[in-house]
C-alpha cells in the first residue's frame, strides 16, 4: 500500500474505525488508519474498489444477539456452527475427528492492508477448528450479523491435518440493515490434505461485506475454493493462497453475481513459494442493470519455485448495456523454469447460441437462463458433495429468477 507523505483527510467512516480500534486497545491499527485512511484508487489492490468513496459510514460495533439455529443451507451430513455478531455458538457435540474451540487475537498474517489491520484489531476471539489427520468432515459455519446496523469483525482459524479430507462451507447472512462485516478466515492444510472451501455472501443489499481468506498448503495438499458474491450491495473478498509445499495444488475459483446497484470485487494474490506447485485460478462475473463486477488476480512465483504451473483466467458476462466488468490479471515471476499464463474475456450472451435455442421453440427468457447456467457450470460441477452442489445451483437459480 502506498503511504502518503502528506496528512490524510479522514472521513466519517475512518473516524468511526479509529474510535472503535482505540476502544478495543488496538492502538497500532488505529494509528495505521489515521496515517493512511481507507484505500483509494491509488492503492493498486483497491484500484477498482475505492473504499474511501464507497464506504461512507461505519455503524457502531455489534452487540450480543440471540442464537439462530436454522443453517443458511441444507447440507446433509454437515456439522453446523454459528457466529452471531462475532460470538461463537456451538450446536451439539462435535463429531469424532473434529475439535472445536476458540483462540484469542487476530488470525490473519499481518500485511499492509487496512481491512486486515482492522480485523486483527477488533476480532479478539476467533472460532478454531481442528480436523484430525486422516479424518473426513463436512462443516457449515453460519456467520450472521443481527439486529440494527452494526460493524462486526469476526474470525475463523482452521487446521486440517495430514491426509484429512474436509469440506468447509461458510455463509454470510443477517438482518436487513446497513451492516459492515469484516470477516477473516485462516485455513492451513497439512500434508496430502484435500479441502473444499466455499464461502457464500447472502447478506442484505444494504450490507457492506468484506472478507479476507488466507490459505497455507503443505506438501501434496489439494485445495479448491469457491467464492460466491450474491448479496451485499458492496462486497469484496481478498484471497491469499500460499503454496508452501512441493506437489501442492490450488483451484482458486469465484463467482460474482451482480445486479443493479451492486459493486462486487474478488481480488486474489497467489504465492508459489517452492518448486513443483500448481494452481488454476478461475473466476467468472455476471452483471446486469447498472452494476459493477471486479476481479483482480496476481500470481507470484518465487525465485526458488521452479517447475511452477499456474494459469489465471477471468470470464465476464454482461446482461445489460449499463453493466461493467473490470479485470486486472498480473504475473510476478522470479523463477525461469515455469509455465505461467493469464487471460481475461468479457462479452454478452452468444447470439448464435441464443438463436439456435430460440429456433427450437425455447422461450427467450428460458434460453438465456440455459446459457447462463452453462457459463457457470464450470465452477459448480467440480463440487463433489451432492447436497452442496444442489444448494449452489439453487442460489444461482434464485439470482437468475429474482436478482437476489
Q: What is the pLDDT of residues 14-48, one digit of tens each?
A: 999 999 999 999 999 999 999 999 999 999 999 99
Q: Do residues 137 and 95 lie in contact, with contact meaning Cβ atoms separated by under 8 Å? A: yes
Determine, yes or no, domain membership for 295. no
pLDDT for 404: 54
pLDDT for 5: 53
Model pTM?
0.94
- 32-41, 141-150, 154-163, 395-404: which range is least confident on average? 395-404
Q: What is the mean pLDDT of residues 362-378?
A: 88
Q: Do residues 97 and 131 lie in contact, with contact meaning Cβ atoms separated by under 8 Å? A: yes
Q: Which of 336, 219, 223 is nearest to 279 (CA)?
A: 223
The helix/strand/coil state of 242 is strand
Determine, yes or no, domain membership for 17. yes
pLDDT at residue 321 tops 80? yes
Q: What is the pLDDT of residues 61-116, one digit of tens each?
A: 998 887 767 778 888 889 999 999 999 888 788 999 999 999 998 999 999 999 99
Determine, yes or no, domain membership for 266. no
Determine, yes or no, domain membership for 251. no
Alpha-carbon distance 332 to 272, whole Å? 10
Determine, yes or no, domain membership for 90. yes
Alpha-carbon distance 147 to 63, whole Å? 8
Q: How many domains does the chain divide into?
A: 1
Alpha-carbon distance 296 to 268, whole Å? 6
Determine, yes or no, domain membership for 53. yes
pLDDT for 2: 47
pLDDT for 6: 56
Q: What is the pLDDT of residues 209-246, one digit of tens each?
A: 999 999 999 999 999 999 999 999 999 999 999 999 99
Determine, yes or no, domain membership for 230. no
Mean pLDDT score across all residues of the chain: 93
Domain residues for the domain of 109 are 1-72+83-187
Percent of the chain at pLDDT above 70?
97
Determine, yes or no, domain membership for 121. yes
Amino acid at each position: 500500500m502506498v503511504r502518503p507523505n502528506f496528512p490524510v483527510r479522514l472521513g466519517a467512516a475512518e473516524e468511526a474505525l479509529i474510535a472503535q480500534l482505540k476502544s478495543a486497545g488496538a492502538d497500532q491499527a488505529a494509528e495505521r488508519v489515521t496515517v493512511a485512511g481507507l484505500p483509494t484508487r491509488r492503492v493498486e489492490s483497491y484500484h477498482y474498489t475505492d473504499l474511501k468513496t464507497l464506504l461512507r459510514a461505519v455503524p457502531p460495533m455489534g452487540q450480543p444477539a440471540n442464537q439462530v439455529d436454522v443453517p443458511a443451507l441444507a447440507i446433509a451430513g454437515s456439522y453446523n456452527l454459528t457466529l452471531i455478531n462475532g460470538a461463537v455458538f456451538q450446536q451439539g457435540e462435535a463429531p469424532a475427528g473434529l475439535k472445536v474451540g476458540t483462540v484469542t487475537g487476530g488470525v490473519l498474517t499481518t500485511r499492509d492492508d487496512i481491512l486486515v489491520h482492522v480485523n486483527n484489531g477488533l476480532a479478539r476471539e476467533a472460532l478454531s477448528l481442528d480436523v484430525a489427520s486422516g479424518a473426513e468432515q463436512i462443516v457449515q459455519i453460519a456467520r450472521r450479523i443481527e439486529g440494527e446496523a452494526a460493524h462486526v469483525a469476526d474470525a475463523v482459524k482452521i487446521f486440517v491435518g495430514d491426509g484429512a479430507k474436509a469440506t468447509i462451507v461458510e455463509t454470510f447472512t443477517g438482518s436487513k440493515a446497513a451492516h459492515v462485516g469484516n470477516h477473516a478466515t485462516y485455513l492451513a492444510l497439512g500434508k496430502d490434505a484435500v479441502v473444499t472451501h466455499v464461502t457464500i455472501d447472502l447478506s442484505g443489499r444494504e450490507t457492506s461485506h468484506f472478507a479476507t481468506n488466507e490459505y497455507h498448503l503443505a506438501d501434496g495438499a489439494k485445495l479448491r475454493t469457491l467464492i460466491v458474491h450474491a448479496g451485499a450491495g458492496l462486497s469484496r473478498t481478498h484471497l491469499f493462497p500460499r503454496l508452501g509445499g512441493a506437489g501442492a495444488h490450488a483451484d482458486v475459483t469465484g463467482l460474482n453475481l451482480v445486479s443493479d446497484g451492486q459493486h462486487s470485487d474478488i481480488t486474489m494474490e497467489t504465492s508459489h513459494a517452492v518448486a513443483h506447485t500448481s494452481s488454476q485460478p478461475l473466476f467468472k462475473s455476471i452483471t446486469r442493470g447498472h452494476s459493477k463486477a471486479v476481479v483482480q488476480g496476481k500470481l507470484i512465483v518465487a525465485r526458488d519455485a521452479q517447475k511452477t504451473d499456474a494459469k489465471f483466467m477471468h470470464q465476464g458476462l454482461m446482461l445489460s448495456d449499463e453493466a461493467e466488468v473490470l479485470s486486472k490479471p498480473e504475473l510476478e515471476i522470479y523463477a525461469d523454469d515455469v509455465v505461467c499464463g493469464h487471460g481475461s474475456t468479457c462479452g454478452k450472451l452468444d447470439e448464435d447460441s441464443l438463436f439456435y435455442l430460440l429456433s427450437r421453440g425455447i422461450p427467450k427468457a428460458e434460453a438465456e437462463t440455459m446459457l447462463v447456467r452453462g457459463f457457470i457450470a464450470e465452477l459448480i460441477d467440480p463440487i463433489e458433495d451432492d447436497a452442496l452442489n444442489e444448494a449452489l445451483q439453487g442460489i444461482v437459480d434464485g439470482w437468475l429468477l429474482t436478482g437476489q
